[in-house]
Amino acid sequence: MTPPRPLGQRRLIVVGGGVIGVEYACVLAPLGVRVIIVEKPPRLLEFADTEMVEALETAAFNGLNRLN
């Protein structure tokens, strides 16, 4: 007997790269969901430290697609 397939979609578009949008992306990307973040400013979490955001993008969002 084959294991049941997980429910839900395999792709997600998040509008906005603020705290909530990044949180959803961090939770769902490791579960195999292809996450696309649409953000107007040039980087995510505009208010946060640049080095922290770069480390987060490298570690948590390997393969993440961003549309500016």
pLDDT of residue 4: 59
* Best CA proximity match to 46, nearest among 29, 21, 65: 21
pLDDT higher at 39 or 60: 39
Domain ranges of the chain: 11-67
User: What does pTM read for this prediction?
Assistant: 0.69
**Domain 11-67 indexed as CATH 3.40.50.1100:** no
Is residue 7's pLDDT more than 60?
A: no
Look up tokens 């500016």; give the residue. 68
SS3 content of the chain, % helix, strand, coil (to 5): 35, 20, 45
Is residue 49's pLDDT more than 60?
A: yes
DSSP letter at 63? Answer: T
